[in-house]
């Protein structure tokens, strides 16, 4: 069973369900038929069981990253899942979680500490990706944190998102904690949303780090987002003041250029609700509280359109 994204609209006061995609209770992936799968540009082959194993990171493109440390490639049973399983071998991540490639080591350490302490959570507790991240962070050793932090910091993030302004967007459904186009096609009004989908859903589901995405945004979002992100508009503080002129990060402050807009909107709302209450929460919360839901959509769309 799938839930249509058009049915996931919420009011201005609630977390937008199109960003917090949650698998329906009856969701189950197709069974493994034992046939090895492949993705474009790779000589590797893995079964569905392998690609779904949380203690295994499918390495489709070994030349795209340094040698993976054990914490990234296989984790440590029974409680520490492989970082590369959810976040991909190259740290590219996806709409359902965070991209880790290029994150500053200090910022990575801080986030693990905040997942452990409970300072970083989610406004929608039923989302498994955050629950799994909290459980893993609480079981990681300091050595594992350092190894993962150094590994992902050494990888340059790649541009993977094409932002398109549109009045009408593909009808979508939730699968794997993110949106995909519904079978049979069809379109619907975009409304006040960003609709982010993989261009090749099958390859992305197989954990392909080279997967690309299209993010549909309301007309005018990119220019509105540019103004909000790069100038002091009203009571809001420009994003570039902390994240750098190209939004690629400064020092321990992470870059937001080229990031998943679904992920960014979730963070905005988590700051606003207090679900994310770590060391950087005070300045971020003051910013997001001064912006309307339409503003948050525009900023996320603009940042996603930039080269990381």
In this predicted model, what pLDDT tens digit does every residue of 69-123 receive, in sequence order?
999 999 999 999 999 999 999 999 999 999 999 999 999 999 999 999 999 999 9
**Rounded Cα distance, 103 and 249, in Å:** 9
Element (H, E) at 134: helix 128-139
Same domain, 260 and 198: yes
Whether the Cβ atoms of residue 228 and residue 299 lie closer than 8 Å to each other = yes
Determine, yes or no, domain membership for 200.
yes
For residues 132 and 50, membership in a common domain is answered with yes
Are residue 149 and residue 194 in the same domain, yes or no? no
126/233 same-domain check? no
Q: Kindly report the pTM of this predicted structure.
A: 0.93
Q: How confident is the model at residue 13 (pLDDT cuts 50, 70, 90)?
A: low
How far is CA 202 from each of CA 30, 156, 199, rounded to the nearest angstrom?
A: 12, 25, 9
Domain span holding position 67: 24-153
Give the list of residues 6+ apart from residue 13 with CB closer than 8 angstroms, or none.
none
Q: Are 204 and 300 within one domain?
A: yes
Ramachandran angles phi, psi of 199, nearest 5°? -70, -30
Model confidence at 226: pLDDT above 80? yes
Examine residue 67 and state whether it is found in any structural domain, yes or no.
yes
pLDDT at 280 over 50: yes
Flag whether pLDDT at 133 surpasses 90: yes
Helix (H, G, I), strand (E, B) or coil at 226: helix
What percent of the chain is predicted at pLDDT more than 70?
94
The domain total for the chain is 2
Q: How far is Cα 178 from Cα 197, in angstroms, rounded to an integer?
A: 8
| Domain final residue, candidates 153, 174, 202 | 153
Q: How do residues 196-220 score in pLDDT, each as one tens digit?
A: 999 999 999 999 999 999 999 999 9
Provide the mean pLDDT of the chain: 94
**CATH code for the domain of 220:** 1.10.760.10
Q: Which of 90, 121, 153 is the last residue of a domain?
A: 153
Choose the weakest-confidence range: 4-13, 65-74, 128-137, 288-297.
4-13
Report CA 130 to chain centroid distance, whole Å. Answer: 11
Statement to judge: residues 177 and 300 lie in one domain: yes
């Amino acid at each position: 069973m799938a839930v249509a994204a058009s049915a996931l609209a919420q009011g201005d006061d609630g977390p937008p369900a199109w960003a917090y995609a949650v698998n329906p209770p009856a969701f189950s992936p197709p069974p493994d038929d034992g046939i090895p799968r492949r993705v474009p540009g790779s000589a590797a082959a893995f079964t569905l069981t392998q690609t779904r194993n949380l203690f295994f990171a499918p390495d489709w493109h070994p030349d795209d990253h340094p040698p993976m440390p054990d914490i990234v490639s296989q984790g440590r049973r029974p409680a520490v899942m492989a970082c590369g399983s959810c976040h991909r071998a190259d740290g590219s991540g996806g709409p359902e979680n965070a991209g880790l490639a290029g994150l500053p080591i200090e910022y990575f350490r801080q986030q693990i500490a905040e997942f452990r302490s409970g300072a970083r959570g989610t406004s929608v507790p039923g989302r498994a990706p955050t629950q799994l991240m909290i459980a893993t962070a609480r079981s990681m050793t300091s050595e594992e944190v350092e190894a993962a932090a150094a590994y992902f910091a050494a990888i340059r993030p790649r541009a993977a998102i094409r932002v398109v302004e549109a009045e009408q967007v593909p009808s979508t459904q939730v699968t794997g904690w993110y949106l995909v186009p519904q079978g049979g096609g069809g379109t619907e009004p975009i409304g006040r949303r960003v609709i982010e989908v993989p261009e090749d859903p099958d390859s992305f589901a197989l954990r392909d780090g080279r997967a690309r995405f299209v993010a549909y945004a309301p007309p005018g979002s990119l220019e509105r987002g540019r103004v909000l992100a790069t100038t002091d508009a009203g009571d809001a503080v420009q994003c570039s003041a902390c994240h750098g002129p190209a939004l690629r990060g400064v020092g321990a402050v992470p870059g937001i250029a080229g990031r998943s807009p679904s992920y960014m909107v979730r963070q905005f709302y988590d700051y606003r609700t207090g679900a994310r209450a770590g060391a950087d929460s005070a300045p971020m919360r003051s910013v997001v509280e001064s912006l309307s839901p339409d503003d948050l959509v525009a900023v996320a769309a603009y940042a996603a359109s930039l080269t990381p």
